[in-house]
Chains A and B, each alone.
Chain A
Amino acid sequence: MVAQLAGKFMEISQSKHAEDQNVAHTVSYGLGEFGYLLPK
Chain B
Amino acid sequence: MLQTAVMFVKRAIQKPDAFDEENMITTENSLGALAKLCYAHMDGSVLSEGDLISVLHRMPFTSDENESMTSHRILFDQIENPASVINTNAGAKQAAFEAVQRIKQHVIEQGPQPEERILDFANLQRLDNLKC
State the A residues within 8 Å of B (CB): 6-7, 10, 13-14, 18, 21, 24-29, 31-33, 35-38, 40
Stretch in contact with the other chain, from B22-30, B93-101, B105-113: B22-30
Which B residues form the contact surface with A (CB < 8 A)? Answer: 1-2, 4-5, 8-9, 12, 22-23, 25-26, 29-30, 32-37, 39-41, 64, 66-67, 70, 74
Which residues in B have their C-beta under 8 angstroms from that of A25? 25-26, 29-30, 64
Chief secondary structure at chain A's binding surface? helix
Which of B23, B33, B40, B74 sits near A29, CB closer than 8 Å?
B33
B interface majority secondary structure: helix
Q: How far is the CA of A38 from the CA of B23 in the complex (A)?
A: 28
Please tell me which one of the listed residues A6, A7, A14, A32 contacts residue B34 in the complex, with CB atoms under 8 A apart.
A32
A34 and B34 CA atoms in complex are apart in Å by 12
Chain A residues within an 8 Å CB radius of B25: 21, 25
**In the assembly, what is the distance between CA of A21 and CA of B26, in Å?**
7
Contact B33 A31 (CB under 8 A): yes
Q: Which chain A residues lie closer than 8 Å to B9 at the CB level? A: 28, 31-32
CB distance from B13 to the nearest CB of A (A): 9
Q: How far is the CA of A32 from the CA of B2 in the complex (A)?
A: 11
A33 to B39, CA, bound (A): 11
B4: which A residues are within 8 A, CB to CB? 10, 13-14
